Structure 1
């Protein structure tokens, strides 16, 4: 590996072409040597644009692809499809020194050059973790400058996280992990070219044993556009409740005096008791960048403003798709 290691990203995506190309363009602009996109559903526009770019690789995950990959064909759940595709990329032809497994709504945001951060990792490092910050929906009465977004973070360690969460989110905090409605674990870069390595959603594995001591990439944040607007959140809500990050059976947030409701139970209760009005009340307190929420986040050191500038970057790297 050189003194300036190359890096890339891999994602399994089912999204509009605009979102897929935003994801690719942003990371190309950041310096990705390869952007690997596994299309979980046909998307002719995105596939053609990606195949035409020298640093992008597109794989259509159709029935033939899955028959070649697995005797039982395509897994029903999207989580194993993501893991299998990321591992396929890692082991076949990643064409980079470090590969990050992330989603189409996640954007790496390094505070210092990413190759230098990767080059500085200890020689024996298998994986390195970027912690997430979660997007806030803009307050229509007080939006951020064009091209920028507000994000929230949470404390890494549970004691401080619980204290902060209860203070910042007075109504729903007890049932939230850091105030996030999605994952707090972040995602990992994994060193390529090693034997018997596999990837899951949040971790790397060696011989099916999880690497439980990934190095912290403290100078890189993972900007997660999980709920960037009420409309986008609502459009994904039913699927997430049944099959995704709000599905039944996931662990609830730890509390000082026990455990709270998990996301499935909390959202099901709100929907049953108050319908869309109750869900909107939750969204306004937890996910909207109101001046009051921003002030509470700022006081605890958890408010961030990031210039993703997705439209400009898409137009630069995919000029036919402005």
Structure 2
């Protein structure tokens, strides 16, 4: 019997030291054989801690890194920097059988060993997809499952997703894709050691053609802390609106009446209508773990309670930063 494959993650990160090491510690604790971190800005403390860990690899993406002949300078936008770095890792020295490209606010989760599930991926599949669940802001509300946190998911079927989203989020559902503020596509693991493979944000490519046959890893989740609290979300809101996941050029989502729009347009509409209080009302209905929202999510099987226990994991792997 062949041994289970090993796996790892790669991320391009610009975040506080504590967040970088929390991300690494969680995935090490989950069984990652390698955690590859491309530092998008200098962080001597994080760099030193990662270099000291035998399963972590770190690259500082400074001017020297970006000005090497093969890279032709640092891209202005972070999305192409992420894709270039992930592809660099994949093709140079991933040191794992499967590599997942994820972000610092995303945490893989599985109740079975990830290696065991990857061992069952069909041998003709290049990539395997993990679908996201978005963290809800606990706000003032307690849940029966504490210290577990509440997360929301959405239906894979577009038709089911549309109907369920309208029912779960009565005011804003028609403007949202699955009730999510960020992506519903999830992220992929890609099988390493293959020729002419590249990675983007949500997909693997072979010979510049997107792999559209990724196997669904239903047993795994990608816990996305995109809007973990109101303060956290609002602090990132302007950046996301101009350069991030709410930027104007992103592909529109279908509206329930057939009109296509994107989150950039939607948030501009909200602010024009009612300013920051309107944003707050939106966040309360869509992103806060109110008893009413949890009940509606649960009725469709879209409420999940997970305890990532991140502080304990960081203390285990990087005790000097506990």
TM superposition score category, shorter chain reference: over 0.9
Q: State the match for 2:167 in structure 1.
A: 167
Q: State the match for 1:123 in structure 2.
A: 123
Q: State the match for 1:4 in structure 2.
A: 4
| Residue range with higher mean Cα deviation, 265-274 or 13-22 | 265-274
* Distance verdict in 2 for CA 1:144–1:24, change over 3 Å: farther
Shift of 1:251: 2.4
- Secondary structure in 2 aligned to 1:308? coil
Q: State the match for 2:290 in structure 1.
A: 290
Structure 2: stretches of 5+ with no match in the other structure = none
Q: State the match for 1:268 in structure 2.
A: 268
* Distance verdict in 2 for CA 1:269–1:118, change over 3 Å: same
Shift of 1:157: 0.8
Q: Aligned-pair RMSD on alpha carbons?
A: 1.4
Q: State the match for 1:303 in structure 2.
A: 303
Looking at structure 2, the residues matched to 63 and 259 of structure 1 have their Cα atoms a distance apart, in angstroms, of: 44
The alignment covers a number of residue pairs equal to 322
Shift of 1:144: 6.7
Q: Is the 8 A contact 1:133 1:223 kept in 2?
A: yes
Looking at structure 2, the residues matched to 148 and 40 of structure 1 have their Cα atoms a distance apart, in angstroms, of: 31
Q: State the match for 1:258 in structure 2.
A: 258
Q: State the match for 1:314 in structure 2.
A: 314
Q: Is the 8 A contact 2:230 2:283 kept in 1?
A: yes
Shift of 1:273: 2.5
Alignment pair present for 1:21 and 2:35? no
Looking at structure 1, the residues matched to 146 and 74 of structure 2 have their Cα atoms a distance apart, in angstroms, of: 41
- Secondary structure in 2 aligned to 1:137? coil
- Secondary structure in 2 aligned to 1:218? coil
Looking at structure 1, the residues matched to 310 and 53 of structure 2 have their Cα atoms a distance apart, in angstroms, of: 17
Alignment pair present for 1:112 and 2:99? no
Q: State the match for 1:237 in structure 2.
A: 237
| Residue range with higher mean Cα deviation, 59-68 or 140-149 | 140-149
Shift of 1:2: 4.4
- Secondary structure in 2 aligned to 1:11? strand
Shift of 1:69: 5.3
